[in-house]
Amino acid sequence: MHTPGRSNHCPTLPENSLETLANLRSSVTLRQLVVAMLAMFAGWTHQPANAAEPVVVKAQQKRVNVLKKISPAVVAIFGNGGQGGGSGVVINADGYALSNFHVTSGSGDFMKCGLNDGVLYDAVIVGIDPTGDVALIKLLGRDDFPFATIGDSDKVKVGDWAYAIGNPFLLATDFHPTVTYGIVSGVHRYQYPAGSFLEYADCIQVDSSINPGNSGGPLFNDEGELIGINGRGSFEKRGRVNSGAGYAISINQIMHFLDHLRSGRIVDHATLGATVTSDGHGRVVVSSILESSEAYRRGLRLDDEIVSFASRNVRSVNQFKNVLGIYPKGWRLPLTYRRDEQKYSIKARLRGVHTKADMMPKQGPGSPPRNPHKENPAKERKDTTPEAYKHMFVKKAGFANHWFNEQEQKRLLPLVIRWGDFSNLNGLWKITGQTGDGDDFSLTLSDQGLGLQMRNDVFFQPLDSSDFLDEPPGSGGLLVAMHHLRLMLQKQADGFSEFYYLGSEPLDLTGEMVDVLVTTLTGVETRWYFARNPAAFVGMSCQITEDAEECEIYFGTVDQFEDRFFPGQIIIRSGGREYLRLNVSQTELGMK
């Protein structure tokens, strides 16, 4: 194999050289023999210093330039009070940086981070993904940090060159990272969970040296693009040293979770609500399925063959686990299956792998109950957190740091508030217009009950009961959903028992990525959707019970009615199909 920086050519002895040496040995002194040998080899051993092949010099200079470009973004992490540590990489100018969960869980909620500018920065935990072994932290003190360029890990191929950079054995006391260089040995590797967490799905295998302390550090391609976060090595048979088989979490997986991590939450991975196996014909078939799962409600059954999932072909159980493992709980993704030689395509919202109780921190803020892979077990540590940053950590159950969730809420809520002031409109709301089929409708919302008159039908939902109904039938609970819209416009967070920023997900109607707020009230969970470009409040989905089909509402238009804005067209979907369109012509809000 050709190694950049070295010649690919080996010197050869001149013709008849062995015969010449034999003759010399029999007729001359040892001193004469040495002189003769030196003279004979001089023609091919003495080469000018500048005789290296241009391609080798070019490859060497490229490596030097790439390392000069990427090294400033590499982080040496040291735990607060001197305990724990590892590596990380900055991914934007604001100082957000990626590392491993098993690194940050041993380093505290505040930690020290060194960059190769020689400065030791304070940093705070933001969000954690215990299952995927990823953590997001934020370096503090600047808004112009050097950062890595995000690559595309789906384009990584076996044989590609790869740089693993970090802080092995915590050697980077001067904050200058260690660099190792190797090749990609495998892609789409699946690593089974350690305990119930730390599942490495669809990861990248490299022979670049990865040792304890490299955990959380970046894996770059030959162009200096970030393609993964180093986390695991096959150490078991060789002790805690590099064995030539290291594993990096793909950057594409991390980008699916990045907004969830920015929410400050302890985030979870996904399950379809079904397990698969290989049959005797090599097909991947459903071996069990929860009847309460959306996949079942949308049509998936036992023994159906999984053809593709999330737009990836599925030809083995390993491939299915790889695809499933790179998505967050709650995303709705396309699934194609085959039954009796006929293909069917659905979209199914993914369930969580763990229960809420599993995800509650029990070892201190930001740490779920089981942590089988700590880089350095944390001891009792002295708190050295600067007073200037203590306000940036807020402890709350289910969150690594609720302070960051509060910031995301503040970013999105103005998109609701700019519709107008609804806070004093406490009376009856009456909304009238025509359906998409041209029939008149009248929707009434009050504190006592909700009603819809359409064609010759009347639907009603009382609010003095905890039993919420799918009214009109098949809508997923349109009346309850409109009641929640009223509460959001009037009270925002004060109208609900639970209110938080979730992250982002693909919108079912259009496929575009949207920010999501989540609210809960008396068991009803509602997602609120916010487009990014341009920023706008665009819809919602309401689920009256955990196992029911959602009522999805999209605002086709938002029109001005007197001095406020309200949806001019309301598109209602449920079960993957459009149920109804309401074209609003008049709103009478707050009537006595």
Residues with catalytic function: 102, 133, 215
| β pairing state of 225-233 and 149-150 | parallel
Direct distance between the N- and C-terminal alpha carbons of the chain, in angstroms, rounded to an integer: 84
For residue 238, give the 3-state DSSP assignment.
Answer: coil
Report the candidate in 253, 240, 172 with the shortest Cα–Cα distance to residue 212: 240
Distance of alpha carbon 49 from alpha carbon 51, whole angstroms: 6
The encoded tokens of residue 98 equal 């990626």
Q: How many CB atoms lie within 10 A of CB 228?
A: 28
Distance of alpha carbon 391 from alpha carbon 419, whole angstroms: 31
Question: Amino acid identity of 125?
Answer: I
Report the candidate in 317, 281, 291, 285 with the shortest Cα–Cα distance to residue 303: 285
CB-CB contact of 116 with 72 (8 Å)? yes
* Alpha carbon distances (Å) from 524 to 33, 481, 549, 572: 95, 9, 12, 18
For residue 529, give the 3-state DSSP assignment.
Answer: strand
List strand residue ranges (DSSP E) for 367-427, in order. none
For residue 148, give the 3-state DSSP assignment.
Answer: coil
The encoded tokens of residue 317 equal 């159980």
CB-CB contact of 519 with 496 (8 Å)? yes
List strand residue ranges (DSSP E) for 265-371, in order. 270-271, 274-278, 284-289, 305-309, 312-313, 332-339, 342-349, 351-352
If phi > 0 it is left, if psi is from -120 to 50 it is alpha, else beta; for residue 170 that is left
C-alpha triplet 218, 221, 224: angle, nearest 5°: 80
